[in-house]
Chains A and B, each alone.
Chain A
Amino acid sequence: MTTAVGPPDTVTEERTAPRRLPFWVNQRLGLLLLVIALSVLFGVLRPAFLDQRLVLFPLLRDISTLTVVALAQLVALSVGHMNLAVGRMAAFGALFAGLGYDRLGVPMQVGLLLCLAAGAAVGALTGWLIARTGVSSFVVTLAMDFALLGLVSLLYSALTDDAAFTTHPSGIDALRSYSLADICAGPICGSPAVPQIAQFTVLAMLGLGFLYGSTRIGRELLLTGANPAAAELSGIPTGRRIVLAHTLSGLLAALAGFMAAAGTGTFRASIGDDFMLPSFLGAVLGGTLLTGGVVSVLGTLLGTALVGVIRKGLDLLGVGLESLNIYLGCVLLLALSADRIRAVVSYRKVVRST
């Protein structure tokens, strides 16, 4: 599901058939093998790792949420921008969902819609500021992060007594604790390891995969990221595409915020505090380029899964929290050195084909 704006796919297929890139360059395959190998390794070392209810279920729930966060970053990266405010947009969206449940008593689905709308609105505002002023996305989203950080805490302390909405609409507890084992088709039930909340992740991935893989707008987003000047000259309204990308990014961030809130059961200002690093890790490990123009939706899931498995596995092996970050940073650097090799290889491919 990698989509890149380089040479048109058909041309590459014809020309490079004899000298196809070696399979190890395919990052997603490598990631998949790595995730499986590590899971087996941890499973052998600590059989508890394969406990479906106690280990795999929360692990997959975390991976589901963080994948959506990474997808929010991916959309911003696809136009060559960054969204440093993913975590805060998530908190902002979740605030509205919590407000809806607590004050208006809306059903769960309406609250989710409120949450998504708030995220999309704040994302659209960010995109509009970037497109209108031409200031780099880094600065605008950083300032947005500051502003939302303050605003969200202020709103929580103004609207609630103990800085959290704890009202549970019907259905949200089910969303938190139900797995596929609770869906039965006759005598056959699903696995208790797969949480039901993953449905949002699957939906988001399908939607983005379709957007980038098969629609004109998706291609235009990628071209805007790969070469803004060329995109502008080809008649693509780059300003509007930038606004669209940031709107989608805000929407996905808000979805992740809702998932995180549903997972913990309370709507608090601290939702999304630790979203920024995983968002870049998942997207970039999966093969999305920081410079824009290349995205990989499936790779994002695999990248996030890799980080999640390593974290959980090391945790079970008794590696302290303090060392986890050291290992994660090293993994990131190593994986990206590989990414660099890939970028050089694909650059040479583009040069050769033109």
Chain B
Amino acid sequence: MNSVNTLAGQGSRAAGALRRFSRSTAAMLLVVVVAGYVALGIASSGAFFEGPSVRVFLQYLATPVLIGLAQMVALCVGQLNLAVGALGGFTACLMGVLMADHGVPAEVAVLVGLLTATAIGLATGVVIVATRINGFIVTLATMTILLGAQYRLTGTRTVDGYSRTLRDLGTSAPLNIPLVFVTALVAAALLAAFMYRTVAGRRLLAAGGNPLAARLSGISTDRQIVVAHTLSGLLVGVAAVTATASLPGVNRSVGGDWLLPSFAAPIIGGVALTGGSVAVFGTVLAAFVTRLIDAARAQFSLDPSWVNLLIGLVVLGTVAGGRLHQTRLEKSPQSPTALPQPGGAQ
């Protein structure tokens, strides 16, 4: 009994430290986002603060936020999900083909898409747990399979003759705030509530933070891995719905450039690759930062390659800076010793 109590005490203390840390990263990101937005607004002599610009900015922010969250859920149990882009693209194409070629109503198609994505996530988790193959390789394989399936669904054409209602919903923006962005925010809020407030969410974190301790406290780590991949699949499904709704059409290139941003958002947001930490707000803000870089690129009409270069440098700077900061903290004697790893360790 005694040992269980100390374990729980340590857990809550570690969680407290974790929250403090995620808050500080989020605070820094918030400053970056606000400063960047103001700077862009000034550089564009105010045009960036006007309705249409805000609307376009937020419209294309929904998908990065959702795929970042999908990756974050996998990372929080210490797994990777390389199939984020392929699964999203496949789901988007599936919904597009169902609506355009088979006349399925939009609601049914969206439901089928969400269920399929969730089911594929579930299957991935089950394969990882059952075969004990490294999750990296399993998701690499599912990525390959899904890319093939997506190509088979659409071929080289672009499917665009689908539901008017869904398209209208995707582009509608009351008060210049697009519905797809609201969807992403609601998903983030629900995920935050799940992670921070429910027992199931805490179990995920426990399994990711210290699998051995989690097992000893009666948590099935295998089940948590399956749950995390299922949830990741569901979030990718939502991302695919927002993409289908806001894009002019779906083809086989949808999802092709999702993989790298999906990792960039949680890593910049302060999620450790080793598992055991989440930063929902941080991930959302990090997606803002990457979107800002993209918007700035468009504003100054620079080569699109600048975006990749800058995002790469930002990720490198974030992880290296976080690690150096922590080393300095460890050296100073009065610092608490139980700080979580900022950038992920070996």
Q: Which residues of A contact B (CB under 8 A)?
A: 82, 129, 132-136, 138-140, 142-154, 157, 228, 277, 280, 284, 290-291, 320-330, 332-333, 336-337, 339-340
Tally B residues with Cβ within 8 Å of A: 48
Q: How far is the CA of A135 from the CA of B42 in the complex (A)?
A: 37
A129/B316 in contact, CB under 8 A: yes
A129 contacts B320, C-beta separation under 8 Å: yes
Q: What 0/1 readout, one digit per residue, does chain B (124-156) give for beta carbons within 8 Å of chain A?
A: 000100011110111011111111110110010
- Contacting pair B137 A280 (CB below 8 A): yes
Smallest beta-carbon distance A228→chain B, Å: 7
B344 to A: closest C-beta gap in Å:
5
B194 within 8 A of A: no
Write out the residue numbers on chain A whose beta carbons fall within 8 Å of the beta carbon of B267: 139
Query: Is B31 located at the chain interface by the 8 A CB criterion?
Result: no
Smallest beta-carbon distance A50→chain B, Å: 27
Tell me the smallest distance from the CB of B267 to a CB of chain A, in Å: 6
28 contacts between A and B (CB under 8 A): A129-B320, A133-B320, A133-B343, A134-B345, A135-B319, A136-B345, A136-B346, A139-B273, A139-B315, A142-B263, A145-B312, A150-B307, A150-B309, A157-B303, A290-B134, A322-B151, A323-B148, A325-B144, A325-B151, A326-B144, A326-B145, A326-B149, A328-B148, A329-B141, A329-B148, A330-B145, A332-B137, A337-B131
Chain B residues with Cβ below 8 Å from A145 are 260, 312
* Residue among A146, A280, A321, A325 making CB contact with B315, cutoff 8 Å: A146
Q: Which residues of A contact B311 (CB under 8 A)?
A: 146, 150
Beta-carbon contacts under 8 Å, B262-321 to A: 263-264, 267, 273-274, 303, 305-313, 315-316, 319-320
Task: Assess whether B324 is interfacial by the CB under 8 Å rule.
Answer: yes
**Complex contacts, B264 vs chain A, CB 8 Å:** 146
Q: Which residues of B contact A82 (CB under 8 A)?
A: 136
Contacts of A291 in B (CB 8 A): 134
Select one of B312, B319, B323 contacting A146, CB under 8 A: B312
B80 within 8 A of A: yes
Q: Which one of B141, B147, B313, B343 contacts A332 once the chains associate, using CB atoms below 8 Å?
A: B141
Q: Is the CB of A151 within 8 A of B144?
A: no
CB distance from A283 to the nearest CB of B (A): 11
Contact status A147-B343, CB under 8 Å: no
Bound-state Cα–Cα, A195 to B28, Å: 55
CB distance from A272 to the nearest CB of B (A): 14
Q: In the complex where A135-B323, A321-B151, A340-B132 touch, is A280 in contact with B140 (Cβ < 8 A)?
A: yes
